[in-house]
Structure 1
Amino acid sequence: MENGVSSFNQFVHDFSMDSDNSSLEYSSEDDDSEIYSDGLEYPPTPGSQSSRTSEAGITKFSRHQKDWIRFILLSILFPLKLLVWIPVNLFRLVYYGVLKAMSFTTNKRPPHLRAHKRVLSLKDHIIHRATDRRRGVVEDLHLGIELSIEAVFDVVHKAAHLLLSPSEAFGALVRLFSSHESAVKGDHDGEEDASIYTDTLGENDPKPKERTVKYQPLNTDARTCQDVITDLGYPYEAIRVITSDGYILLLERIPRRDSRKAVYLQHGVLDSSMGWVSNGIVGSPAFAAYDQGYDVFLGNFRGLVSREHVNKNISSRQYWRYSINEHGTEDIPAMIEKIHEVKTAELRLTKPDIEEETDDDQPYKLCAICHSLGGAAVLMYVITRRIEGKPHRLSRLVLLSPAGFHEDSNMVFSVAELLLVLLAPVLSLLVPAFYIPTRFFRMLVNKLARDLHNLPAVGGLVQTLMSYVVGGDSSNWVGVLGLPHYNMNDMPGVAFRVALHLSQMKRTGKFIMFDYGSTSANMEVYGSPVPLDLGERYELIDIPVNLVAGQKDKVIRPSMVKRHYKLMKGAGVDVSYNEFEYAHLDFTFSHHEELLSFVMSCLLLVDPNPKHQVNQRGVRSRRKGQVANSG
């Protein structure tokens, strides 16, 4: 629609005007209009023309013959016009319909008009940057139907016009092919690039920097963790980490290079670093830690569908051949050693006398905040590093609903565990991992999540069904599907061995490492016929641990977290236990000031410079002694 008039009404109006214009050809040059009693001048009508013709008599008869001959010729040429019109306009209908639905530039306009429209699109993009910018499937269908109706009426209108003027049909055909060539040149794989100026905090030279933003033609929210961090004005750094078995991990950072306090945040299953920043400035643990003066590191486990590996030709089956063991003994060690390398080099550069203020080779304090599977992996990391006699470099653990003990799971998880254990020999060959393999289906899931937000009744139904599947957990499952890291370009997956490992923990009722299924395989890896029971080695944990459970958490129930607490307490670990009225996903994807305050208070318990404080106390005591002696 344009200016409140539908395309159909516009067609009727234009068609009537074309008819009036054609009737003007029958009139003489001297009688171009009629003057009525109201003094206004009107164009002649077919009725008035016929009356004049009848009055003219014989002088007009020859003109009638010419008109009839012209009418007969047009009738004969009509099939030819129709054959020309059908392919041309069908091509235009498909071309312009797809172009309107899939790109920002719906009309072919001169370059300066396209540039102006691009600026307007950029302005709207920036205004709605912090909101959900996706369209759902229902919205796409609605938009497609509207565009199709508009295109049909536009074709009918232009077809009628071209039938009355064949010369313009030929000109339109020439313009169509010429405009198509120019459109192909200006198109870049369905995406438009635009440069915007951004600024970040904490940089020595805070000048706006030009950054290229790619628009997604399918209207899917494909923002990364970097986009969220920089758009909110925080500094960002990406660090590539390569594990000893060749996996390439992304360690993301909100840097405070001169800070001696660092925090490492590790996500859980089917998640990424996006979970720690998804609530914005106010409700995200990563931003809260940075605002408290911490150098923030966001870890990412292996397991994205992009399959980053040093071996570019690695097969899907080879890539997904890992369990929780690799998360705890490969991923976390590689990332923490990289953190140690970076922090040590930066602090020695910015503070040359830093070694005199510390007792060991670690001039900073590193705490870890881990959720769900990340909690189980970091416990495995600490224990195995102590067994190997290597430093784990951590000062405190804050574990939010950590995995490890699952004997108290609901019926759905029990059935899944039974099927995985019984069918493991077959499923391991057929299903290397649980993930969405193609971009199309990932895009479809992304758009369906948007539809669930726009249709509260359907979204509520799906939310209820998901809650029942996981035993009544009230997490915002529909909202989590709408997060940007569940997009068409990349998406977290779960290796089959990770799921099987969790099933083994539930079946045995113990926090064990992966059972390879045979005595010889276990002997080769662990030196014993059975896998290592981590719960029996909690006495090796030599740092404080803060355990947090959710009263509404039905995925990892409070009883499972209490099992960790009892074993740690019995092993003499400095451990605390707290419960909050949260569900499983509320620890990362929901804004809870109470939880943030508790986590920050745990971090503040770690003194980044204990030796310096001891020296300061000694100086103060000596000063007091000198004052007393002088008195």
Structure 2
Amino acid sequence: MILSRIFRFECFCYWLTLTAVLLDGYSYNKVDRHAARVLLKNWRRKAEEQRAKFFDRLPKNVESSYTPPEVIKHRGYPAEVHNVTTDDGYILELHRIPPSSNNTPKKVVLLMHGVVESSGTWLVNPSSRSLAILLADQSYDVWLGNYRGNRYSRRHITLNPKQAQFWKFSWDEIGNYDIPSIINYILKETGQSKLSYIGHSLGCGVFFIAMVKHPELNSKIDIMIALAPLSSFAHFTTPLFRILTPFSKIIQFFLRMKRTLGWLDSAGIGDLFFDLICEQTYSQARLCRNVINAVAGPNPENLEPELIPLVGSNYMHGTSVPVIAQFAQNYFAGETFQAYDYGWKGNLMRYNSFTPMKYVLKKVTAPVYVFSGGNDRIVTPLDVDWLLKELGNLKDSIRISDYNHADFLWGTDVKGRLYDQVISLLPSP
């Protein structure tokens, strides 16, 4: 670093000297001045290479160390924290952007995140293209959910996250307990009879489970907007997942040896990874962006390198091993949407069948609008096509040809190409 600073200082001094020479043309002929210009250009190029190598650091974004309520307040909006206890004892944390302080109740919109994410994923983009903030600007009563196991919902009335029992949950428990508890709590708190639900990825899958397991909830939904909705997982094409999926049972075995079933459950492990690997320089940020696109699908220019620190601080927030294993199970099951597979003995006890229960999506009678991406490697167009045929009350389906799985949250063009349409579908506040 010291040598680099000296080099920059020498370049600066040399630049001043050559500038003076070029301005003082009476002592040098045209050939000398041309040679000086070439030499100056070469030195400037070398100085730029050194700067890129040693000083090309990402600007620090203070919000990368904030909780979602702190981010909301930092952007000039009120924020509230609410705690919901599920019927099986998990304590979930909800983050709210309440409407402006008048006495008129506003329409409620609930946003639910995907796997290993949290409510903060809706706040990664700047306010001008953050769905949560855009909804607040339209005077909606905005609620950001966190389901069990992530950083903000890692509590239980009797269990401790250090106990394996705490982590014995799958998509099924999130859909059967968390989503109903969250919906009913919000409606009671706001005095409303219905709300609008916007989910991304697994946030859609657990909604479908909730509607199937609790049919009465369908009448409490004004509209459900599904962004890259997870259901069938038969055709996913992410290379890393396809490599690891056949070894899912072996991975589960070794994870059990650490006496917990938590996945990325250590506090701050995601932040540490992104801070060390992705958040120091633009080169690192672009590398990590390429990794994200390798998983989510191609479209690299739609994620700004400057957002990588915020992506890192709102990703890898933890879940359970069974939640991750259920992805592999649904992949091997083909075109279906099934409950967790406990093996034939466990299935007999839970489902009275040798095989896991299949969720009948025709029972989802709440009105659903689906937005999907043509470049999505996780929720592929083929899997979305299967879902569209299965839903009980599909209103419309829009496919954005070049969108990958992450563009629905962090895309640079997401407001004009997606969120404006989403907001236009909602009942007026």
TM-score (norm 2): 0.76
The match for 1:245 among 73, 88, 91 is: 88
CA contact (8 A) 2:388 2:394 kept: no
Structure 2 Cα separation of the partners of residues 303 and 533 of structure 1: 24
Shift of 1:524: 3.4
Shift of 1:313: 4.2
Aligned twin of 2:243: 415
Structure 1 Cα separation of the partners of residues 265 and 307 of structure 2: 16
Aligned twin of 1:460: 286
Structure 2 Cα separation of the partners of residues 466 and 281 of structure 1: 22
CA contact (8 A) 2:97 2:141 kept: yes
- 1:577 equivalenced with 2:402 (yes/no): no
Query: 5 Å matches for 1:533-612?
Result: 533-534=358-359, 537-568=360-391, 571=392, 573-580=393-400, 581-591=402-412, 592-593=414-415, 594-604=417-427
Aligned twin of 2:318: 493
Structure 2 Cα separation of the partners of residues 479 and 495 of structure 1: 30
SS in 2 for 1:407: coil
Query: 5 Å matches for 1:381-420?
Result: 381-386=210-215, 393-410=220-237, 411-420=239-248
The match for 2:145 among 299, 317, 331 is: 299
CA contact (8 A) 2:329 2:341 kept: yes
Aligned twin of 1:231: 74
CA contact (8 A) 2:89 2:156 kept: yes
SS in 2 for 1:328: helix
Query: 5 Å matches for 1:252-401?
Result: 252-256=95-99, 258-305=104-151, 307-311=154-158, 313-344=160-191, 363-386=192-215, 393-401=220-228
Aligned twin of 1:360: none
Letter in 2 for 1:269: V
CA contact (8 A) 1:243 1:331 kept: yes
Change (3 A) 1:426 1:476: same
Change (3 A) 1:461 1:278: closer
| Post-superposition CA distance 1:314-371 (Å, at most 9, x none) | 5342222211111111111111110121122xxxxxxxxxxxxxxxxxx443110000
Change (3 A) 1:278 1:463: closer
Shift of 1:269: 0.9
Aligned twin of 2:3: none
Q: Which has the larger radius of gyration?
A: 1
CA contact (8 A) 1:259 1:293 kept: no
Aligned twin of 2:357: 532
Change (3 A) 1:479 1:414: farther
SS in 2 for 1:482: helix
Aligned twin of 1:515: 341
Shift of 1:270: 1.8
CA contact (8 A) 2:285 2:308 kept: no
Aligned twin of 1:177: none
Which is further off, 523-532 or 503-512? 523-532
Aligned residues: 361
Structure 2 Cα separation of the partners of residues 469 and 263 of structure 1: 29
Letter in 2 for 1:234: Y
CA contact (8 A) 2:161 2:167 kept: no
Structure 2 Cα separation of the partners of residues 313 and 236 of structure 1: 28
CA contact (8 A) 1:236 1:254 kept: yes
SS in 1 for 2:339: coil
Shift of 1:539: 2.2
Change (3 A) 1:438 1:334: closer
SS in 2 for 1:252: strand
| Post-superposition CA distance 1:449-487 (Å, at most 9, x none) | 5xx455333433343345345565647497665127728
TM-score (norm 1): 0.53
Change (3 A) 1:546 1:457: same
- 1:132 equivalenced with 2:73 (yes/no): no
SS in 2 for 1:367: strand
Structure 2 Cα separation of the partners of residues 312 and 600 of structure 1: 40
Shift of 1:588: 1.2
| Post-superposition CA distance 1:470-510 (Å, at most 9, x none) | 565647497665127728xx961131101111111110011
Shift of 1:392: 5.6
Shift of 1:558: 1.8
SS in 1 for 2:69: helix
SS in 1 for 2:266: coil
Change (3 A) 1:461 1:282: closer
Letter in 1 for 2:330: M
| Post-superposition CA distance 1:105-139 (Å, at most 9, x none) | xxxxxxxxxxxxxxxxxxxxxxxxxx7346xxxxx
SS in 1 for 2:156: coil
Letter in 2 for 1:284: S
Change (3 A) 1:479 1:312: farther
The match for 2:264 among 435, 452, 462 is: 435
CA contact (8 A) 1:372 1:401 kept: yes
CA contact (8 A) 1:473 1:553 kept: no
| Post-superposition CA distance 1:370-411 (Å, at most 9, x none) | 00110101011111112xx56661121100001111111224
CA contact (8 A) 1:413 1:470 kept: no
Change (3 A) 1:502 1:340: same
Change (3 A) 1:454 1:409: same
Aligned twin of 2:38: none
Aligned twin of 1:99: none
Change (3 A) 1:477 1:376: farther
Aligned twin of 2:9: none
Structure 1 Cα separation of the partners of residues 142 and 383 of structure 2: 29
Change (3 A) 1:464 1:261: closer
